[in-house]
């Protein structure tokens, strides 16, 4: 059918007066427009490329089939992370727990469930700190198999007896060995130490005010009473210093009779 149409068109072109060259040109244009024209050189080149690619794929398959398969390494069987402990390791662990006291705590936890673990030494110390008479003193507590030992210094025999009585009232305490030493001057030494602490706190409070710091007061404390001395130009500065010292816990009073007001003349 296509050849008949082409022959008809050639015949029409000849009748119209076109030459052979014009007819050939018209046929080429028609072939390009309808997609029937193909370049024999290009078609031959594409066929060679396809044949070469197929040949390379076939050769690759042959080479792969001739190569020996790589042996796979055998993986060792998985070892369990939780290996059973030897008897020697168990003995060493038990001994370490005995030395650190963990074994007794673990047994108490197993036997009592959610019961809190407490220390007898700490319980006795807390009981001694609750008494105002014994609060200022450093009292050490030592625990034996069935007794409590008190070591340290107090000011009076009454305070020594009070410490032993308080320790004996703690549950599970059977006997108390009272080795506290009575030092009569101890109360004065403690009071002097507390005064030094108050003096340091008052000076720290003065350092927060530029005005009071510039006044450069001399500060001394005796039995909780703070004494200020120095020279200032305005009395209001003395009042500010006294108010600052009053804010320090433990200060009982503030004396300013030794502060001199410097006149401007």
Q: What is the pLDDT of residue 42?
A: 45
pLDDT-wise least confident of 7-11, 111-115, 222-226: 111-115
Q: Residue 92 domain-assigned? A: no
- Are residues 173 and 211 both part of a single domain? no
Per the CB < 8 A criterion, the answer to whether 203 and 220 are in contact is: no
Q: Is the pLDDT of residue 28 over 50?
A: yes
Three-state SS for 249? coil
- Are residues 255 and 192 both part of a single domain? yes
- Are residues 8 and 28 both part of a single domain? yes
For tokens 């080479």, name the residue: 63
How far is it, in rounded angstroms, from Cα 107 to Cα 95?
A: 15
Question: Which of these, 143, 186, 135, lies nearest to 163 by C-alpha position?
Answer: 135
- Domain end (from 162, 184, 206): 184
- Are residues 245 and 208 both part of a single domain? yes
- Domain end (from 152, 184, 216): 184
Q: What percent of the chain has pLDDT over 70?
A: 56
Question: CATH number of the domain that 242 lies in?
Answer: 3.30.1340
For tokens 């009592």, name the residue: 112
- Domain end (from 184, 205, 236): 184
Higher pLDDT, residue 123 or 56: 123
Q: Residue 96 domain-assigned? A: no
Q: Is the pLDDT of residue 232 over 90?
A: yes
Mean pLDDT of 36-58: 52
pLDDT-wise least confident of 12-26, 114-128, 200-214, 228-242: 12-26
- 98-125: pLDDT as tens digits: 555 555 555 555 555 555 556 889 999 9
Q: What is the pLDDT of residue 144?
A: 80
Q: Residue 109 domain-assigned? A: no
pLDDT band of 262, cuts 50, 70, 90: confident
Question: Which of these, 204, 198, 210, 265, lies nearest to 240 by C-alpha position?
Answer: 210
Q: What is the pLDDT of residue 191?
A: 87
Distances (CA, A) of 119 to 42, 147, 186, 214, 225: 100, 14, 29, 52, 40
Mean pLDDT of 84-88: 63
Q: What is the pLDDT of residue 82?
A: 47
Write out 197-216 in H/E/C secondary structure: HHHHHHHHHHCCCHHHHHHC
Three-state SS for 91? helix
Q: Residue 10 domain-assigned? A: yes
Kindly give the residue spans of alpha helices, DSSP state H, lying in the chain. 2-15, 20-34, 40-66, 87-100, 102-112, 120-129, 157-168, 186-206, 210-215, 235-246
Q: Residue 163 domain-assigned? A: yes
Q: Residue 103 domain-assigned? A: no
- Are residues 193 and 254 both part of a single domain? yes
Q: Is the pLDDT of residue 71 over 80?
A: no
Q: Residue 108 domain-assigned? A: no
Q: Which DSSP category does 183 fall into?
A: -
- Are residues 199 and 161 both part of a single domain? no
Question: Which of these, 202, 209, 257, lies nearest to 224 by C-alpha position?
Answer: 202
How far is it, in rounded angstroms, from Cα 232 to Cα 206?
A: 15
Domain that holds residue 177: 117-184
Q: Residue 210 domain-assigned? A: yes
- Are residues 195 and 177 both part of a single domain? no
Model pTM score: 0.45
- 181-205: pLDDT as tens digits: 999 888 888 889 999 999 999 999 9
Higher pLDDT, residue 265 or 88: 88
Mean pLDDT over each residue of the chain, to the nearest integer: 75
Listed in sequence order, the residues at least 6 apart from 70 whose beta carbon sits closer than 8 Å to its beta carbon are none
Number of domains in the chain: 3
Cα torsion for 68, 69, 75, 76, to the nearest 10°? -40
């Amino acid at each position: 059918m296509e050849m008949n149409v082409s022959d008809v068109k050639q015949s029409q072109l000849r009748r119209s007066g076109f030459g052979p060259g014009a007819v050939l040109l018209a046929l080429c244009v028609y072939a390009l427009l309808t997609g029937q024209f193909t370049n024999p050189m290009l078609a031959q080149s594409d066929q060679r490329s396809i044949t070469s690619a197929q040949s390379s794929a076939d050769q690759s398959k042959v080479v792969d089939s001739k190569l020996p398969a790589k042996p796979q390494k055998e993986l060792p069987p998985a070892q369990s992370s939780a290996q059973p402990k030897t008897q020697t390791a168990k003995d060493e662990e038990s001994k370490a727990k005995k030395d650190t006291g963990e074994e007794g705590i673990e047994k108490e936890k197993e036997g009592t469930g959610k019961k809190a673990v407490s220390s007898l030494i700490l319980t006795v110390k807390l009981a001694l700190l609750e008494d105002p008479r014994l609060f200022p003193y450093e009292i050490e507590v030592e625990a034996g198999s069935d007794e409590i030992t008190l070591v340290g210094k107090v000011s009076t025999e009454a305070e020594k007896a009070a410490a032993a009585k308080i320790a004996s009232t703690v549950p599970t305490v059977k006997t108390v060995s009272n080795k506290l030493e009575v030092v009569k001057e101890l109360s004065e030494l403690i009071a002097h130490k507390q005064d030094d602490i108050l003096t340091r706190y008052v000076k720290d409070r003065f350092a927060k005010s530029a005005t009071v710091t510039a006044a450069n007061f001399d500060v001394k404390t005796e039995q909780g009473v703070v004494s200020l001395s120095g020279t200032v130009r305005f009395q209001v500065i003395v009042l500010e210093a006294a108010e600052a010292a009053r804010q320090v816990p433990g200060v009982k009073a503030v004396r300013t009779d030794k502060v001199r007001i410097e006149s401007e003349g």
